[in-house]
Structure formats: C-alpha cells, structure tokens
Structure 1
C-alpha cells in the first residue's frame, strides 16, 4: 500500500536516505528504533505543513452559544478572542450569543437563527430539543462542539471540558480531608449549590461528590435553579441556612459564590470549607481574601484553543487528534496563576 507522502519527500524532511525511509515504511528488519522515530517525526512534520497550506487564506466564522453567568461568559469570551490569532494563516472570527437565564427554548431558537456559521461552541442543557437542534446543524454541515457540559445523545463532534464526575469526587476528597482535620465533623452538613439541574455537567459533579462522600457521616443539602445569578443564589442560600443550622461547608457547582459568602455573613455563620469551580474575577478575589478554600479550575485558553481546533478538524482543515478530558487544577490562595 502506498504512503500518503513520497519516499523522497520523507527522506528530504528527515535527512535520511531514501533506502532507509523505504525500509522503515515497509517495516523491514535491521532498522534502529531511533531511525524509525526520525521517520515518524518527519511524517508528523509533513502533516503539519500540509495543514498549514490548507489553512492558508481560509476564513472561518465560529459561533459561541452559551447560557451561563456573565462572569464566566466574559472570561471564556476573552479566552476565545485571545486564541483566534493563533490559527494563522487561517483567519478566524467569532460571534458570541450569550445570556444568563431562560428556558431551553431560547437555546434552540438561537441555534436555529445561526446563518453562515462554520462551527459552533455550545454550552447548553442536555435536553432532547437541544440535541435535535444540534443534529440539524450537523446534518446541514455545521459542526458543533459542546463545552463544560455535554449533550452526548446528539451528533456533536466532541466535548471539551473537565471530567465532571472526577471533579466532584476531587471536591469530596478535599472536603472530607479538611473537615476531618478540623473540629469534630459529626452532625455537619455540606451545602451544594447548582445553577440549574438540566445541565449535565453540573449533575455529574453532584453525583461524583455525593458518591465519594457516602459513608463519611456528612449530610449533603442542595439548592438549585439560581442560574448562578447572585441575587437569586443569595436568597436560596439564606433560606437553606435558616432551615439547616448544621450547614458548615459549601461545594459550589454552579457559581454565585460572592452571594453564598454574603449569605453566611448576613446570618453570622462560619463556613469551614468552601470549594468552588472556575477562576473568574469573583473567585480570584474571594480566594485572595480567604473567603473560599479552593477553586477547581481549568485553563480557559486551552479549552478555547481545543474547541476551535476540533471545529477545524471536523471541517477537514486540520488533521484529527485524540481528545482527552481537560485536567483540573486545584487552586488555593497560595498558587493563584497570573
């Protein structure tokens, strides 16, 4: 079977003789492993060069569609805009469709209104109507990549984000360690706050958290449907604190952390451990002030770069590469990245 590159091309790229390259390609004996590695590296380099030629002068319009609190959408928008120029010689532009709260129908309507899109980065509820809207886009030739929360029963090209179940387990591990290391943890409850239970990613975090705490002797009390908006979240948390005087710790899945801290302070209640997600402006300030204990964070620019790359892969403009869950970082007041 012929190779996608001529032996002469690979030999020129690797600096090896054509005879040596031919022996490697045909898996003949008597070739050292480092020579085989040189040939494979030359092929990888040729793949990159071919991709660059395909990208040269191409223009792509990417749509970012997200229902999420503004503090997160602002941070992700900045990450996308910072990454767009890195795809030169292709020219990428982005349109942003961002809102904080609303029914699933708003997402479906927004997806139906997209025109001229070369790909969509989507944060949306795992809902049948959303899946059908994704399928319609993909069948019409527009690839979709889901971000932070997945819609797996759709034709989406792939998912970008952390292992949400693993993040919940990590939060539970930290919670148990810190509470066990302090005063007696008997009869202590942990409050878990979610923005909306239709988001698959948040549900996976909650399931991981609850399952890892099982048997630890800690009750878990949840509040949800705040959309991560501060005013709504503060009202819900105040109500939960009044009904449950045993709450002494928080795992924030859905944001609104400044409001949660304010609710504890209004009632004169101490929060022994507070674990949150995403290193947005609010969480940076709360970490520095010692109001929250740790943030489970992932690099938004790396997320944006991967999502954009996957869209170009889906369009055949870049070679396909394996995608792995984004690693989660544990950020404390002492290792906040710049």
Structure 2
C-alpha cells in the first residue's frame, strides 16, 4: 500500500490509532476487513487533499455526515473540496460519511464515534428527530461544534445552519406553478424524500400555504417518502397517482425526478409544469431535454464556505462579522443553465449532438 503520507496523518484521517494503522500498512494478521478499508479510504482522501497538506495554517479536522442520495452527496463533497484552498488561515481536513439512507441508530452511532475520537467540528445533514438532537447536544458538551447543512435541526445544540431558505423556496415553487398553469384546474403532485428532513418539511409547509392562498382550485397529491431513491420513489408515485387523476404539475422537493417522470409516463401522465431542486447531473439533463420546467438552485459552494466559516469562528480564527449569509434561491430554466454547470457535466455538447 504505497503512499507518501506520515502514519499519524493516515491515523488522523481514518480516526484510528497508530498501532492499528501500522498493522494494516504492514499487512499483519488479525485486522478486520472493515479496518483495512477505512485505512485505504483515508489514503484516498489524503491524496485528494495533498495541496491542503502542504499549506501552512491551523489544521481543522471536520467530519461530514450526510444522509442523501449519492447524486446530492457527491455535489456536497465537490462543493466543500472546491472551497478548501481558500479557507485561510485554516486548513480543513474533511472526513466523509455519506450514505443514501441512514437509520437514526446509525446516525447517532456515527456521532458518538466522532465524539470519542475527537473532531474540530461536524457538518450534519440528518433527520430532525429527538435522538439525533440529543447526539448533537452530546457533541456540544464535548466541545465539538455542529453545523447543520441543507436541512436543519433547530431545537438542537447546533451552532448554526448553512443552506437554502427553504420556506422561500417553497413559496417560489408555488408562484412558478401558478404562473405556468395560468388558471388551469387539476392535481399537483408533491414529493418529499422524507418528512423528517426539516428543510423539505419547511418547503412543503410554505408551498401548501401559498397554493391554498393563491390557487385554491389546484388539488395537492402527496407521494412522499421515497428517500429520493429511484425504485422507492417510482413505486410511490405510480401507486398514489393511479389512473384516475390528472397531474398538471409536479413539485419535487427531495429528488428522484427521473423516477417520477418514468412513473408518470407509464400511466399516461404528462405534467405541464415540473419544478425540481438542485443542479445535479440528472436535473441538468432533464432541463436540457425540456422535461423539467425549472430547478430551484442554491450555491452549494457558498453554503459550504459559510459552514466552514462558522467552525472557524468557534475556533477563534474568524470574526462573526466575516461570516456570510447562506445562498439565495435561484430559478434556473433551460435558458439560463450556468456555464460552469454545463462545462462540468458536458450537457451542452450532448444536447447539441
């Protein structure tokens, strides 16, 4: 297992003791496969951070714990890693735990492990449930600050939330759907990945309030709970919509838009308007194909930079006045997809071909 890193750097990144890392690197017996994989994963992360390792400054090891479909967790990782070089006078060393779905027990166990091994901070995207809020409190008691990202746990001991104003996003989606439909009647399909994600819940509450107030002739149909994963989301949509409803619009708060469209097409439904969230690869392709009307986008890099600044402030490396606001809602249509997104995913070339 050739590598250019000091054993203590690998141990820090993996969250393991020096003796354990030594046994893995030297191929000794009586080492669990899971432990070997942690060391290999730590080396891969260090390879990505080589520029950071050569930079002088206060080193801050942060743990990123995210429950989200890989298409979104990949965007979070990319956003954070893109911001790392500009975070002087700190040098951030992220350790990632990202899974499509995580039970409450899995999240709390991960947070307890972080508490035992130590960390300079945690970026957390998880459900708003009492057990996780309690685990956040335990980290705070250990002096480990937690910043919730993209979905909040407001009654916890987290030091800050970094992410979209979700109530504003929900109201914006309602406004756009009303303008697109121009007084038409019918059913509007609403999907969340899970109601325990506070961010999506806030979008949904605001959306319902605006729809009830502005467009009472439109009926909301809920197909939430698919965790943004394709198979579960498609099954829920097909089951809830059935064959006797006329879906005129969709507001997808939790992703899985390819699956939603596939489910609707299979039962002969073609909505006039479809509003989604986030400029991930799937959504950019759907925008280019004309299958999404608009995507409510927010600058993940700005949000991750804000999250890092909160941690820097806790460690007295940045004044509170230097912490910027979270990102605003941006309405992206097929006509104004940012150039950097097209360059990243190569969607413009594919569309032209």
TM, length-normalised to structure 1: 0.80
- 1:183-332 → structure 2 map (5 Å cutoff): 185-186=184-185, 188-215=186-213, 216=215, 217-242=217-242, 244-321=244-321, 324-332=325-333
Deviations 1:33-52 (A, max 9, x none): xxxxxxxxxxxxxxxxxxxx
- Aligned equivalent of 2:76: 76
**Distance apart, 1:56 and its partner CA:** 5.5
Distance of 2:88 and 2:333 partners within structure 1: 36
CA contact (8 A) 2:79 2:300 kept: yes
- Aligned equivalent of 2:128: 126
- Aligned equivalent of 1:179: 181
Larger Rg: 1
Distance of 1:248 and 1:104 partners within structure 2: 36
Aligned mate of 1:157, from 156, 159, 169: 159
Where do 5+ consecutive residues of structure 1 fail to align? 1-54
SS in 2 for 1:214: helix
Distance of 1:169 and 1:317 partners within structure 2: 37
- Aligned equivalent of 2:336: 335
**Distance apart, 1:262 and its partner CA:** 1.0
Distance of 1:244 and 1:118 partners within structure 2: 54
- Aligned equivalent of 1:19: none
**Distance apart, 1:88 and its partner CA:** 3.3
Where do 5+ consecutive residues of structure 2 fail to align? 1-54, 341-353
**Distance apart, 1:323 and its partner CA:** 5.2
The number of residue pairs the alignment matches comes to 280
Aligned mate of 1:144, from 137, 143, 146: 146
TM, length-normalised to structure 2: 0.77
Distance of 2:144 and 2:295 partners within structure 1: 35
- Aligned equivalent of 1:95: 95
Give runs of ≥4 in structure 1 deviating > 4 Å: none
- Name the stretch that deviates more: 103-112 or 189-198: 103-112
- 1:9-28 → structure 2 map (5 Å cutoff): none
